[in-house]
Structure 1
């Protein structure tokens, strides 16, 4: 949609939501709302709850800017609702959203397409926790709920006692639990917008682990942009990020996370609605690429469409 066409539309920024990442979504949404207002768009905030269809109809929303993180927003459900209501929306469609939020499914697709990813095992609802414990003897590992973001529920475990506790912690948040090989290396991330890779960022948390607090506390993490890695590795992870988004069918903005040891990189996951807070990685990478925050938000908005 052109800028001129979009200026005639009533835009709803979908924020808040029902997931464990509600607080971050409010920050992402309000920052995006402010940028669009600054650019002169007709935009209102829609705090997503069980009455979303009525809210959209009552507000006369014609385009949705999705600023939701986690389940019930980043997992294809809101996208499916918008499809049924024939409201164009930003970001990935139903299928890509529902696959990318599921870390197990994402890694299975990575493996099929020969994108390197750490060795893993998993447990679906109804599977035996005891069997998973017996299979996971090669420690340390990282235990994650399959469908949470912002490192919520993640545990790095070094022994069987910690493993059992980590699995239980993850299972309390999501019936599907991922157990992944621990990669002792550097953390990189690459944002992708409309099929183009932004500068690579190296993430250096002062605590040593990029957890929720490190992500959202100003000064808790150093971000090295562009990442001080070899030119060859730099190019490879950018190419891998674009390929990861392509094989999952992502649209608009996304972010791909990597762990690296020397010149060996491993794809970890894809975020289909990257954060847009003061400490978020996509806006930082865009700035280095010469794109300021309002321009970035507008680029995401203008790509809004019905899934095709």
Structure 2
């Protein structure tokens, strides 16, 4: 196939996007595909003629643009099929508070939190609703960039000022004690979950992409019942957002065995340190076979997103 591989862009996650694209390009070429690499930083006006000629696009973008649905909407208008979810599902998943609201509406356990579109007049209103420690995170970012663990009012104030200072929307959530588990969905079925054992206080950007930053154990040794619950929730969250092809849901599993969903990623990382490829390997799919499967799922949707 003639594949247009889209990566890079201008989000804070562009470097990991470009890193993953190198591996994807290598695998696609080895499997006989013709690959045209495109860095989104070159602009939409350069993307359009390439997308009009491509047989299929493979999107390896993280954050915005990419996971926000903008590129998906453009490709759909150009009748260029692509792997993953459409613009609507992508946007809903990236907006963590909107996704959280949908999860709650579908009966999924979520961590107690607040959405802040702007700096509050006083921090007491936050403290009245949430207890320390809290996580302060970007409402529409990923890869654990701009993630702060705060334990008192001064730390909360510093985190809010930093993030609002660079124009971010914020989601604040209480700390949920437990194990970090992630679970992918591929072609309508949940994959074996991964247990993440981080050496740091929490699984931040450095831990996520460092070779020795965290232990990622697949399948997760959490027992059959917890595995079943997490797989069911991952699939339910995927469907609640109206997603397609694949996704990855992140959870906290409490010591009581209760899973809480944190967020869903519609363009899971595709590097040697990424989680979904590890899960796919457990069901017998090599990295190359996983990429090939995603391409075939994309091709099925020709004319399907117009």
- The aligned residue for residue 146 of structure 1 is 139
Q: Partners of 2:148 and 2:240 in 1: how far apart?
A: 28
Please name the residue that 2:305 is paired with: 307
Say which SS state the counterpart of residue 273 (structure 1) adopts: coil
1:45 corresponds to 2:37: yes
The structure-2 alpha-carbon separation of the partners of 1:198 and 1:134, relative to structure 1 and needing over 3 Å to count, comes to closer
Deviation for aligned residue 1:50 = 5.2
Does residue 53 of structure 2 align to residue 55 of structure 1? no
> Is the Cα–Cα contact under 8 Å of residues 113 and 174 in structure 2 kept in the other structure?
yes
* Equivalent residues of 2:48, 2:78 under 8 A apart: no
State the shift of 1:84 in Å.
1.4
Structure 2 partner of 1:108:
101
1:152-180: CA deviation from partner (whole Å, max 9, x where unpaired): 11111111111111222332445321110
Q: Kindly indicate whether the alpha-carbon contact (under 8 Å) linking 1:16 and 1:26 is maintained by their aligned counterparts in 2.
A: yes
1:12 and 2:10 matched: no
For residue 136 of structure 1, report the CA deviation from its aligned partner. 4.4
CA contact (8 A) 1:255 1:270 kept: yes
Note the alpha carbon deviations across 1:131-167, whole angstroms, 9 max, x for none.
6545445211111110110111111111111111122
Equivalent-residue separation in structure 2 for 1:126 and 1:158 (angstroms): 18
How far off is 1:118 after superposition? 0.3
User: Would the aligned equivalents of 1:123 and 1:132 in 2 still touch at CA under 8 Å?
Assistant: no
State the alpha-carbon separation in 1 of the partners of residues 21 and 147 from structure 2.
25
After superposition, the C-alpha distances for 1:100-153 in whole angstroms (9 at most, x for unaligned) are: 001111111111111000011111247646465454452111111101101111
Q: How far off is 1:55 after superposition?
A: 3.4
Whether 1:246 and 2:244 are equivalent positions in the alignment is: no
Change (3 A) 1:137 1:118: closer
Residue in 2 that maps onto 1:297? 291
TM-score, normalised to structure 2, is 0.93
Q: How far is 1:207 from its partner? A: 2.0
TM-score by length of 1: 0.92
Which one of 268, 271, 276 corresponds to residue 277 of structure 1?
271
Query: Match of 1:303, SS?
Result: helix
Q: Does 1:34 align with 2:26?
A: yes
Of 120-129 and 253-262, deviating more is 120-129
Where structure 1 has 5 or more consecutive residues not aligned to the other structure, the ranges are 1-6
User: Runs of 5+ in structure 2 lacking a partner?
Assistant: none
Alpha-carbon deviation of 1:33?
1.3
Question: CA distance change for structure 1 residues 100 and 129 in 2, over 3 Å: closer, same or farther?
Answer: farther
**Could you tell me which residue of structure 1 aligns to residue 14 of structure 2?**
22
Q: Matched residue of 1:250: which SS?
A: coil
Provide the rounded CA distance (Å) in 1 between the counterparts of 2:125 and 2:79: 43
The C-alpha deviation readout for 1:225-275, integer Å capped at 9, x for no partner, is 111112111101001000000000111121000001120110000000000
Q: Are 2:94 and 1:96 equivalent residues in the alignment?
A: no
Structure 1 range deviating more: 87-96 or 164-173? 164-173
- Paired residues in the alignment total 300
Task: Specify the SS of the correspondent of 2:41.
Answer: coil
| Structure 1 vs Structure 2 CA RMSD | 1.7
CA distance in 2, matches of 1:71, 1:98: 10
